[in-house]
Amino acid sequence: MTALATHYDPTRENDSFSPLRFLWTVIRRDMLLAARRRGDWLTSQFFFVMVVSMFPLGIGPEPEVLRMVGPGVVWVAALLASLLSLPRLFAEDYRDGSLEQMLLSPEPTVLVTLGKALAHWCIYGIPLLLITPLLGVQFSLPAEAIGVLVISLLIGTPILSLLGSIGAALTLGLRGGGVLLTLLILPLYVPALIFGAGAVDGALSGIGYSAHLSLLAAFLVLTLMVAPWVAASALKVSIE
């Protein structure tokens, strides 16, 4: 048995990279776990495709109508897809006790929630961007509009993950957590939806989309600054 290696070890104190490394650890960990369970990931992507594909069946095949409705439909589907995959953010770790171990890490809890939100974005957000062009074609959107749609989703999906992490932390361990999470977080998604879908509308109608995208980016920055802290205190409250 080696001696107690890590008594209180002052040399560790000034390791300035440990928060970043810890953040990367949390992200890498969630990506690894998601890779081991590819089924969940696939269901979320297919959910997104199927929800979007239902609308033309409901609205009718005329290209002009679909072009007008397309951006809103894709964006609302992105909201729903992220809300579907958010309860899993903390639920499994909470159930098998590893969430407690993460809260007992010397690194601040904010990094846990930030890391998990970013991991959720990488796992569930980015694949959405790859599928969107196919769906854009389905709604006969011109190439430029599809480009703006993908960019708006690129800026928008982290917002969905960050705000969603607050909802996931608040509803941790509650019965009916998934529906409750949607009820809590959907109103907070409204600005992202308006700016995101509005950008594509702007591109389609030619009045320009840069204003929308910059406002969306501003909302992303605000969310990035607020959401992890709120989610961290929500986690501490839920774990109590």
| The one among 31, 69, 129, 239 contacting other proteins by CB under 8 A | 239
Least gap, CB of 59 to other proteins (angstroms): 19
25 near other proteins, rule: CB under 8 A: yes
| The one among 49, 69, 91, 103 contacting other proteins by CB under 8 A | 103
Least gap, CB of 226 to other proteins (angstroms): 6
Query: Sign of the CA dihedral 102, 107, 109, 110?
Result: negative
| Residues 163-222 interacting with other proteins (rule: CB under 8 A) | 166, 170-171, 174-176, 180, 183-184, 186-188, 190-191, 194-195, 198, 201, 207, 215, 219, 222
CA distance 146 to 152: 10
Which 3-state string (H, E, C) describes 30-91? HHHHHHHCHHHHHHHHHHHHHHHHHHHHHHCCCHHHHHHHHHHHHHHHHHHHHHHHCCHHHH
Q: Which residues contact 165 (CB under 8 A, 6 or more apart)?
A: 86, 89, 113, 116, 117, 120, 227, 228, 231
Q: Which is nearer to other proteins, 134 or 236 (CB)?
A: 236
CA distance 91 to 97: 10
CA distance 202 to 39: 37
Applying CB under 8 A, the site for other proteins has a residue count of 65
144 near other proteins, rule: CB under 8 A: no
Per-residue interface string for the shown chain with other proteins, residues 44-63, x marking contact by CB under 8 A = --------------------
Binding site for other proteins (CB under 8 A): 1-10, 12-13, 18, 21-22, 25-26, 29, 32-33, 36-37, 95-98, 100-108, 166, 170-171, 174-176, 180, 183-184, 186-188, 190-191, 194-195, 198, 201, 207, 215, 219, 222, 226, 230, 233-234, 237-240
